[in-house]
Amino acid sequence: MQERFILKVEDLTVSFDGFKAVDALSFYVEPNECRVIIGPNGAGKTTVLDLICGRTKATAGSVRFHDQELLTMREDQIVNAGVGRKFQTPSVYEDLTVFENLELSYPKGHSVFGALVFKRDADVRARIKEIAETIFLEGQLDEKAAFLSHGQKQWLEIGMLLIQDPELLMLDEPVAGMSVAERKKTAELLNRIIQDRSVIVIEHDMGFVADIATRVTVLHQGKTLSEGSMERVQNDPKVVEVYLGH
Amino acid sequence: MFADYSMAELGAIFAMQGFAGLILFSVFVLMALGLAIIFGQMGVINMAHGEFMILGAYVTYLMSNLFADFMPALFSMYFFVAMILAFIASGLLGLFVEWAMIRHLYKRPLDTLLATWGLSLILQQTYRSVFGAREVGVSIPDWMMGSLPLTDLIEVPINGIFVMVLAVGISLAVYIMMFRSRWGKQVRAINQNRVMAGAVGINTEWTDRLTFGIGCGVAGVAGSAFTMIGSTGPTAGQLYIVDTFLVVVFGGAGSLLGTIASAFSISQAQSIMEFFLSGSMAKVLTLLVVVGILMIRPQGLFSLKLRK
Amino acid sequence: MQSSAFLSRKEMIGFALLAALIFIVFPMMLDSFRLNLFGKYLTYAFVAVGLALCWGAGGILSLGQGVFFGLGGYCMAMFLKLEASTPENTSIQSTPGIPDFMDWNQLTELPWWWQPFYSLPLALFAVVAVPVVFAFIIGVAMFTRRVGGVYFAIITQAFAAILTILIIGQQGYTGGVNGITDLRTLLGWDIRTDEAKTTLYFVNGVLLFAVLFAAQYVRKSKLGRLLIAMRDQEDRVRFSGYNVANFKIFIFCLGAAFAGIGGAMFTLQVGFMSPTLVGIVPSIEMVIFCAVGGRLSILGAVYGALLVNWAKTTFSESFPELWLFGLGGLFIAVVMLFPNGLAGVWSEKIEPRLLALLGKAPADKSAPDGAPAE
């Protein structure tokens, strides 16, 4: 039996010294859905992703992925359960080559012993080559990541997520800081990789959002202001007021 | 173990140990204040902190000799002159060290640690070459000698009281500098957001240098105060460095109040345990407890919870 | 594609050169006294190699490696001391058959935790196991709570201070400030003779190479690349699905095991173990051996240990004052001017010139694994 929701966020709350950055937030993500979270600065968007992937500890509430409670799990356990996360600023291993960057994300040999005996066999090479082609970096496999352009680093990080093959992918502003050409290529890439999995995206670029979103959640001061299709959200007077009101 | 003592004796023992603890507390506070400024506000590990203290102690030693030889009439007051000079000497050395070394290493805290350790070795050898390897003591003015009888059983040494008064005074001075002066505001601004602080027109480079200098100057004053209760040798500073760092870290780096609270708890624990155990075991147990608590609460006793 | 062979050609030459130096050049050029001295220096190289992995690759700076060196050394010394304290040898004591310092401190029987050290296999096991268990406890406590960087450095330094105070304070059980001295035989074999010392030098060399090969294996494995990744982007590694703490604990324990072996070889070759090898000062000096060699290079670590200790002996014999200035200057210089140490100077300055002289283009232009860690 197919479950109705892959991710259930309920009453999620976190407070930093009394300030509630996320306040009793609830939302549900279906399989293969692409959920876009938008909202003004300081609405708590990144914090929500941080809470789901275990980077920040929640004060109250629950986050269930399939039927596992994520809030009590460590970051690496959450990742290995099938939740991938891309950060706002590209974070890749600058001192390692593109190949090695991808290799470290390959979902094998993640224990201490496993890493000691990990072999770079044909399967690993083939998979890395395949991913590198997807992210337009097949020519740069032996280059140190430090020498990549900003956009290429973003792609590399997306590639590192792809090789993990997560069921739920969380992307924090994947096209921020890119040139127009890179942005177009990235949008194409994202459109391809969000197939066959659930995705949560934080994004400001409304054209891009309209393009990919199944549903949109608007956050404001840590709470859901509005939720639904792009069209519905855009015409919600509350949303209009938050964005244009001041 | 209490059975051998009467209640009055036990009370007196606790009071005297408590007082010994208060002196130790003052010593810890004096040592830690400078470090709390440098480590707490700038995140710089200065392993030569002890040597900056010793510089202050040697300055005091020189002043004591100078006054005794040339101005015996003013001898009872020499200490106050010495304290100011100690602040200036250690502070100037601090400014120089920041300029020559520390500023190049702000992004590499572990390397700062090693480089300042190197500095501490050089300073130690310099002291040894200049002042000799033997410990030197200063002549204490008459008014600071002896002790005050509080009750029949309890006596407190005057120089101990003096060090305590100094610790309180310097803490207040640092507090006022940190929270009431323009410099303090700038330091705290830089600590929170260096780029923004620079953007609103704070000269971050000069503020860093000044902060380091003031931290070192406070260390010099601490060293000066120590001459009142003990002698000074070239390597005396090294003995303090672990304690000092633990005090600051235990209190929660960045919190002056935390530093003082942690100095208080560590010193009281140590001096009370010292009565029941040997000195070394008391020290071992105190350090173990501190390290143990730090493992459970790495951010120290006082710190804010913030989004990473 | 980057070579994933265990040793690249360049590294093979490096290993061979070091082997020639240790097994052929030193024994041929040095008299028995100096060879023993160099053997002592090489025991520090065990620690430095461990630090190259922990600190250079992993970014974990421990200022308490002396603790593990000391624990390994004391385990060995306890065995040797018990062997030297036969009832016949100690018949003049009020309690014959226990180590002399216990007798001096009015102990009348051997403490229970000394008992296992009658057995050589148990003692040898303890040489590695005791430091590793200690490192494991410290590592679990610190790394699972994400204590790192300077905090870790300070706390490990505190451990060095604690152990020193403890050893000195409990002299009835540990020999106090003098340490455990007057060690004589290993299973009846007199370790004080010149021949024994030469044999021990070679045993030491073989063990050092075993440690170097182990370290090289780790460096070349995926775990080695993970260490560098963790040093630079710890969060990213976590979100690639690795339990970062476990890897740090592992590498810290491995470094402790190396240090423990070094300590045991120190005891065997030098004939005593004392708290002066455990404390804050020796521990931080061990870091400088690694830094001088080039903090990422395991071969560099060996050269660093040799060079700094040789300089220490030479200078402190003739100009004791100069030595502290020199050592202090070395700390500063290696941080500010040569952050990649000897290995960096070699690969950035000497090697290109050498190749140019030979009329070859540089074959392998990859720099040593990146910039210094923080």
Q: How confident is the model at residue A119 (pLDDT cuts 50, 70, 90)?
A: confident
CA distance A143 to A121: 20
Chain B environment of A56 (Cβ under 8 Å): 307-308
CA distance B207 to C260: 45
Nearest alpha-carbon partner for B220 in B37, B21, B22: B37
CB atoms B122 and C328 under 8 Å: yes
pLDDT of residue C372: 39
For residue B258, the distance in angstroms to the closest alpha carbon of chain A comes to 18
- Please give the average per-residue pLDDT across A10-25, as a whole number: 87
pLDDT of residue C360: 64
Per residue in B91-120, pLDDT tens? 999 999 999 999 998 888 888 989 999 999
Average pLDDT, chain A: 87
CB atoms C169 and B242 under 8 Å: no
Chain C interface disruption, residue of B107, B283, B291, most C CBs within 10 A: B291
Report H helices in chain B. 7-35, 42, 49-70, 78-100, 109-131, 158-180, 182-192, 194-199, 204-226, 236-251, 256-276, 279-296
* Subunit partners of chain B (3 or more CB pairs within 8 A): A, C
> At C73, which amino acid appears?
G
Give Cβ neighbours of residue A17 (< 8 Å, ≥ 6 apart).
B304, B305, B306
CB atoms C242 and A110 under 8 Å: yes
The interface residues of chain A toward chain C in range 49-68, judged by CB-CB distance below 8 A, are 53, 55
CB contact at 8 A, B67 and B78: yes
CB atoms B125 and C321 under 8 Å: yes
Nearest alpha-carbon partner for B94 in B217, B248, B245: B217
- Please give the average per-residue pLDDT across C33-58, as a whole number: 94
Q: How confident is the model at residue C339 (pLDDT cuts 50, 70, 90)?
A: confident
Please report which helix (H) or strand (E) contains residue A184, including its range. helix A180-193
pLDDT at C25 over 60: yes
Nearest alpha-carbon partner for C293 in C325, C340, C331, C247: C340
Average pLDDT, chain B: 84
Q: What is the ipTM of this complex?
A: 0.86
CB contact at 8 A, B127 and C321: no
- In sign, the C-alpha dihedral spanning A13, A15, A21, A23 is positive
CB atoms B306 and A56 under 8 Å: no
Domain ranges of chain C: 33-292
Per residue in B290-302, pLDDT tens? 888 887 777 776 6
In this complex, the residue of A55, A118, A164 whose CB is nearest that of residue C241 is A164
- Contact with chain A for residue B295, Cβ under 8 A: no
Per residue in C188-219, pLDDT tens? 899 999 999 999 999 999 999 999 999 999 99
Q: What percent of chain B has pLDDT over 70?
A: 94
Comparison of pLDDT for B20 and A168, the residue scoring more: A168
Nearest alpha-carbon partner for C128 in C180, C75, C85: C75
CB atoms A112 and C228 under 8 Å: no
pLDDT of residue B93: 96
Q: What angle do CA A229, A235, A241 make, to 5 degrees?
A: 120
- Please give the average per-residue pLDDT across C151-156, as a whole number: 90
Give Cβ neighbours of residue A87 (< 8 Å, ≥ 6 apart).
A157, A172, C235, C236, C239
Report H helices in chain C. 9-20, 26-29, 32-51, 65-84, 100-104, 120-143, 149-169, 171-174, 194-220, 222-232, 234-238, 244-270, 280-293, 298-318, 320-336, 341-345, 351-357
Give Cβ neighbours of residue C346 (< 8 Å, ≥ 6 apart).
C294
Per residue in B145-187, pLDDT tens? 777 777 766 777 888 888 888 889 988 988 888 888 888 888 8
> At B150, which amino acid appears?
L
Residue of chain A with shortest Cα separation from C366: A144
Residue of chain A with shortest Cα separation from C368: A95
Percentages (nearest 5) of helix, strand, coil residues in chain A:
40, 25, 35
pLDDT of residue C374: 36
Residue of chain B with shortest Cα separation from A48: B307
pLDDT at C2 over 70: no
- Please give the average per-residue pLDDT across A198-213, as a whole number: 84
Report H helices in A135-179. 150-164
- Contact with chain A for residue B299, Cβ under 8 A: no
Residue of chain C with shortest Cα separation from B277: C169
> At B299, which amino acid appears?
Q
Give this prediction's pTM: 0.89
Q: Where are the beta strands (DSSP E) in chain A?
A: 7-16, 19-29, 34-38, 60-65, 68-69, 83-86, 168-172, 198-202, 215-220, 223-228
> At B255, which amino acid appears?
S
Length of chain B equals 308
Chain B environment of A55 (Cβ under 8 Å): 308
Q: What percent of chain C has pLDDT over 70?
A: 95
Lowest mean pLDDT among A136-150, A160-174, A198-212: A198-212
The interface residues of chain A toward chain C in range 161-190, judged by CB-CB distance below 8 A, are 164
Nearest alpha-carbon partner for B56 in B215, B199, B168, B265: B215
pLDDT at C97 over 60: yes
Comparison of pLDDT for C361 and B264, the residue scoring more: B264
Label each residue of B159-199 as H, E or C.
HHHHHHHHHHHHHHHHHHHHHHCHHHHHHHHHHHCHHHHHH
3-state secondary structure of C372: coil
CB atoms A164 and C250 under 8 Å: no
CB pairs under 8 A between B and C: 130
Q: What percent of chain B has pLDDT over 90?
A: 20
pLDDT at C19 over 60: yes
- Contact with chain C for residue A200, Cβ under 8 A: no
CB atoms B308 and A47 under 8 Å: no
> For the packed helices B49-70 and B204-226, what is the interaxial angle rounded to 10 degrees?
60
- Contact with chain B for residue C373, Cβ under 8 A: yes
- Contact with chain B for residue C284, Cβ under 8 A: yes
In this complex, the residue of A85, A92, A142 whose CB is nearest that of residue C2 is A142
pLDDT of residue C361: 55
Length of chain C equals 374
Phi, psi of A156 (to 5 degrees): -60, -40
Residue A64, token pair as written in the block: 């269930």
C-alpha distances out from residue A56 to A16, A120, A150, C225, Å: 10, 34, 26, 27
- Contact with chain A for residue B303, Cβ under 8 A: no
CA distance C4 to B159: 68
